[in-house]
Amino acid sequence: MTLRPLDLEAESAPQKSAAARAATDSIIVARDVHKTYAGAGQPVHALRGATLDVARGEMVTIMGPSGCGKTTLLNCLSGLETIDQGEIYVEGRSIHDMPDTERTDHRARRMGFIFQFYNLLPVLSSIENVELPLLLGGVGQRESRERAMLALEQVDLGDWAGHRPAQLSGGQRQRVTIARALVNDPAIVWGDEPTGDLDSTNASQIMDLLEDLNDRNQQTFVIVTHDENIGRRANRTIHMRDGLIEGETIHRQLGT
């Protein structure tokens, strides 16, 4: 495990062509991303020029002190939020200047999300929650149902398909969320503290699951966490402070 400072000078050169080139071999390419919130009093600079690349199939964790901009970074990369300055390419497509409808569509087809809370619609059953992305993507009713069931079985919740979120434990809920995040076979799965609300046993079970899925499906995972034990289990951990990426730790090379 080596900690090396990121070569900011070389990577953040504001050359569009270079960035675009990099986008072809990395699934996520972010260059000099700035995000400022108006806030109540003075503006908050949540991101002050974040730059990073994530390779296809990689599992990356983002760590850093509370309020350093992890969630903001994740939201910007996934297109949940617009950015003030900089460039973001996901699968070669520029997220930063895409209209909202297109971004939404992109999320529906190519991405999965796991948040800390409020992941599921309380009024729908597990399987109905899992189906949603498929239905949104225009998959037929029957096929959606079959694929959703498969996804639930993958997370070991085949028997809980008809239950509402309120009838499930926290760990079960997060597993339903994972099933939902994976059901449409996304290229990237985003997780914002997916284990934050769970005890350590449940958390490590969830991580086992994610690791396993990452191994099997070669999907890219970007996960925000503040838990060292979780962070270690990725290929790489990116460290943030004050809206900047401070450095990274490589735990294991991709493909090993």
Ligand X SMILES: Nc1ncnc2c1ncn2[C@@H]1O[C@H](COP(=O)(O)OP(=O)(O)O)[C@@H](O)[C@H]1O
Does the protein bind Mg ion through residue 78 (CB under 5 A)?
Answer: no
Q: Quote the CA–CA distance of 34 and 88 in Å, as a whole number.
A: 11
Residues lying near other proteins in the complex (CB under 8 A)? 71-72, 75, 78, 80-81, 100-101, 104-105, 107-109, 112-113, 115-124, 128, 131-133, 135-138, 140-141, 166, 180, 192
Q: Quote the CA–CA distance of 230 and 34 in Å, as a whole number.
A: 27
Q: Indicate which single residue of 12, 61, 72, 177 sits in contact with ligand X (rule: CB under 6 A).
A: 72
Q: Quote the CA–CA distance of 235 and 1 in Å, as a whole number.
A: 11
Does the protein bind Mg ion through residue 129 (CB under 5 A)?
Answer: no
Q: What are the two backbone dihedrals, phi and then psi, of residue 232, each rounded to the nearest 5 degrees?
A: -60, -25
Give, as ranges, the residues between 210 and 239 that touch Mg ion (CB under 5 A). none
Q: How far is the CB of 43 from other proteins (least distance, A)?
A: 16
Does the protein bind ligand X through residue 78 (CB under 6 A)?
Answer: no
Binding partner of residue 18 among other proteins, Mg ion, ligand X, none, CB under 5 to 8 Å per kind? none
Binding partner of residue 120 among other proteins, ligand X, Mg ion, none, CB under 5 to 8 Å per kind? other proteins
Does the protein bind Mg ion through residue 71 (CB under 5 A)?
Answer: yes
Q: How far is the CB of 231 from ligand X (least distance, A)?
A: 14
Q: Give the residue carrying structure tokens 């990395």.
A: 26
Residue with smaller CB distance to other proteins, 54 or 134? 134
Q: How far is the CB of 247 from other proteins (least distance, A)?
A: 26
Q: Which stretch binds ligand X (CB under 6 A): 19-27, 66-74, 166-174, 214-222?
A: 66-74
What does the binding site for ligand X look like in residue numbers (CB under 6 A)? 37, 39, 44, 46, 64, 66-72
